[in-house]
Amino acid sequence: MKKMNRILLIAVMAVCGLFFSLAQVNAESTLDIAKKRGFLNCIIGNSFVGFYTVDESGKWSGMDIDICRSVAAAVFGDKDKVKFKSVQWAQSFTSIKSGAGDMLSKGMTWTLSRDTSQGLDFLDTYFYDGQGFMVQKDLGIKSALELKGATVCVLTGTSSELNLTDFNRTNKLNIKPVVFDDASVRNAAFFNKNCDAITNDRSGLAAARSSAAKPSDYVVLPETISKEALSFAVRQNDSAWANVVKWTFAALLEAEELGITSQNIDNVRKNTKNPVIKRFLGLEGNLHKGLGLNADWAYQVIKQVGNYAQVYERNLGPNTPLALDRKGSLNELWTRGGLLYSKSFR
């Protein structure tokens, strides 16, 4: 009997040891994992002009791309220490939960259900948007309320599909959704007149329109039917990593508020007497220790990637295919009537 009890005790201790080991693995922050690996894994989508697109040489560009590069600059002091993993919408959440990606930055709308049921923590809104509709100009449609009985191209598994259903039911339009799991296929179907209209975030419609053979043949209808807070996310319950990612984004905004750009940052760092700027750039204080980063992490972010305004202008601004003027929009700084502002670097 004593022998059996000893065997049972050993078995229980072995199982407990296994669970303890698994707990240790699960407790390891993505920050530590990424540092050991030597680069960041960033989950993005297939193609979204202005947010993430790849050229013929395989180089990615866009607002989401710059956000990921900012985090790489903060962690490694090198914005290029990041690999981009392009996945379909259906794989977006599992890629983070499984550890295949360190952060998700792909024009994803922050919603309650995604925040509470997908094993993710959404951290900040980097672009405020809303859903709309686009049609061929020669149809003569002036309002989304005229889409009664229309076929509408939409990406499946997205908030756009759910919003379309709500809009349809509320207004009794008998809209017939035509669903796709690939944005490029959806766009091609619309331009080939397989759908009467296409629905997406208004930034997405602008991106699709810019890729048309003749953009002037298409018009975005005036209605905005939803709030779309485009946000980035990380694995749930990993506060050390979440802090790094959200404060990296805050650094982009803080730099713009302080008038610091990638061009003038060296001069500012050399000559500033402002204690706020000194703390921000790691010239005094020890704010970096709480993040587990080097003292110059914010300097590296701004020097290598730029501030929020620079990121916006080169990817979405008036001189880009999207031509989205930031002035007067929600994506302005709070000092200019927008919703964006940095939390305090103190």
H/E/C letters for each residue in 310-332?
HHHHHHCCCCCCCCCCCCCCCCC
For the record, the structure tokens of 103 come out as 């952060």
The yes-or-no verdict on residue 17 having pLDDT over 70 is: no
**Per-residue model confidence as pLDDT tens digits over 182-229:** 888 999 999 999 999 999 999 999 999 998 999 999 999 999 999 999
CA distance 230 to 249: 13
User: For the chain, what are the domain ranges?
Assistant: 30-129+229-336, 131-226
Q: How far apart, in Å, are the Cα atoms of 266 and each of 70, 80, 214, 281? A: 18, 20, 44, 10
Burial class, 19, CB count within 10 angstroms (exposed 0-12 / middle 13-18 / buried 19+): exposed
Fold held by 131-226: D-Maltodextrin-Binding Protein; domain 2 (3.40.190)
- pLDDT at res. 337: 95
Provide the CATH number for the domain formed by 30-129+229-336 in this structure: 3.40.190.10
- pLDDT at res. 173: 97
Higher-scoring residue by pLDDT: 13, 328:
328
Rounded to 10 degrees, what is the CA torsion of 52, 55, 59, 62?
-20
Closest CA to 253 of 72, 120, 124: 124
Q: How far apart, in Å, are the Cα atoms of 144 and each of 29, 133, 222, 228, 240? A: 46, 7, 8, 18, 45
The yes-or-no verdict on residue 236 having pLDDT over 60 is: yes
Is there a common fold for 30-129+229-336 and 131-226? yes
Please answer whether residues 69 and 306 qualify as being in contact, where contact means their C-beta atoms are separated by less than 8 angstroms: no
- Mean pLDDT (the chain, rounded): 91
**Per-residue model confidence as pLDDT tens digits over 34-70:** 999 999 999 998 888 999 999 989 999 999 999 999 9
- pLDDT at res. 308: 98
Higher-scoring residue by pLDDT: 22, 59:
59
Please answer whether residues 284 and 269 qualify as being in contact, where contact means their C-beta atoms are separated by less than 8 angstroms: no
CA distance 126 to 250: 10
**Per-residue model confidence as pLDDT tens digits over 131-188:** 999 999 999 999 999 999 999 999 998 889 999 999 999 999 999 999 998 888 999 9
Please answer whether residues 106 and 62 qualify as being in contact, where contact means their C-beta atoms are separated by less than 8 angstroms: no
- pLDDT at res. 20: 38
Q: How far apart, in Å, are the Cα atoms of 342 and each of 126, 199, 226, 266, 308? A: 11, 32, 25, 21, 11
Higher-scoring residue by pLDDT: 25, 126:
126
Higher-scoring residue by pLDDT: 289, 17:
289
CA distance 336 to 346: 23
- pLDDT at res. 5: 52
Query: If you average pLDDT over residues 282-291, what whole number do you get?
Result: 95
The yes-or-no verdict on residue 13 having pLDDT over 70 is: no
What SS3 class is residue 337? coil
CA distance 255 to 112: 30
Under the banding of pLDDT at 50, 70 and 90, the label for residue 238 is very high
Query: If you average pLDDT over residues 299-327, what whole number do you get?
Result: 96
